[in-house]
Structure 1
Amino acid sequence: MTAPGYAVFDTAIGDCGIAWNERGVIAVQLPEGSEEKTRTRLAARLPDAVESVPPADVQRSIDGVVSLMNGKRTDLTGVELDYEGVPEFHHRVYEFIRSIPAGKTLTYGDIANILGLPGGAQAVGQAMGRNPFPIIVPCHRVLAAGGKDGGFSARGGVATKRRMLVIEGALADEPTLF
């Protein structure tokens, strides 16, 4: 297997990064405040990765992320993700969250209930906090009980989450079930 590749690209919310291997996208990095900081963070997460020109399928993923962050209703569910090393429960949560369309939100509790885990909101929240594919797995569309923002582990925290929701046309004040 060849070394993973990665690239840094500009979006409306700042410089993001993406990494891939032969099986698909292995990581997405939200902005860290500058192109260099984003690159450094992504390289630290994946020390074997080599900065390179993305293959066509990854470039389409980048174009989709850029489009979504520019406010266009872009469907990223076709992006191939490599879930190797991702716990089975997290994988299940991420695949469900990918079905939440832009402009819509659910709560951690809603997702737990839909997945047949009543009382599992905290477990869903923990999975969100470990999401290696933000934006493609749109954890920003998941809110706390009562439609409150909840947490967000990216630089800028909840302000970044709110900005992403505003770009997508979702109201962060109330869940908008789909």
Structure 2
Amino acid sequence: MRHALLPSPLGELTLARDERGLVGLWYPDHRGGAPADLGVRDDAAFGDVAAQLGEYFAGERTAFDLPLAPRGDAFDQRVWAALRAIPHGAVRSYGELARDLGGPGHAQAVGAANGRNPLSVLVPCHRVVGADGTLTGYAGGLWRKRFLLSLEEPAPEAAGRLF
């Protein structure tokens, strides 16, 4: 396992990857925090991630093309795959995701899996909002969620459902 520290508009990000791909992206004050053992620090091994995140924060990238290898159980993996399917500039509610996953009564379980997402930004858990469109929980803090959603906000003429 290797890790790196990367400056960003959201604070210094901690990145981690193993031989399969990226396993984590955490904020400095991320709820739960990064694991203690992230292996050796190797900032040079994350040039691809730094480039794509830089393009994203500059408004030049709407999707990431990076190998991802988040660690979680089968349900977590299904939720994280559903998060990756939410288009840039769109939002979904926890209930909508639960329905999409076949369990309309499982919005809380979807919310919990969303909160365990180890790849913030790359697996866009920030695109999930409350049923009434309000911003709810985010492991990096609501100010970061608001920042990311504002960054992705579509032009007014293309706006559909906004937060």
- Supply the distance in 2 between the matched residues of 1:102 and 1:69 (Cα, whole angstroms): 13
Unaligned runs of 5+ in 1: 33-37
- Supply the distance in 2 between the matched residues of 1:54 and 1:111 (Cα, whole angstroms): 37
Query: Superposition RMSD on alpha carbons, in Å?
Result: 2.3
Q: What is the total number of aligned residue pairs between the two structures?
A: 157
Q: What's 1:72 paired with?
A: 60
Give the one of 135, 139, 142 matched to 2:125. Answer: 139
Residue 13 of structure 2 contacts residue 28 of structure 2 at CA under 8 Å; is this kept in 1? yes
Unaligned runs of 5+ in 2: none
Alignment of 1:50-65 (within 5 A): 50-55=40-45, 58-65=46-53
Matched, 1:163 2:124: no
CA separation of 1:66/1:31 partners in 2, compared to 1, >3 Å: closer, same or farther? farther
Deviations 1:66-98 (A, max 9, x none): 22223333311x3212244x1100101101111
Same amino acid, percent of matched pairs: 32
Normalized against structure 1, the TM-score is what? 0.79
Residue 112 of structure 1 contacts residue 120 of structure 1 at CA under 8 Å; is this kept in 2? yes
- Supply the distance in 1 between the matched residues of 2:92 and 2:160 (Cα, whole angstroms): 5
CA separation of 1:169/1:31 partners in 2, compared to 1, >3 Å: closer, same or farther? farther
Normalized against structure 2, the TM-score is what? 0.85
Q: Following TM superposition, by how much is the alpha carbon of 1:13 offset from its aligned partner in structure 2, in angstroms?
A: 2.0
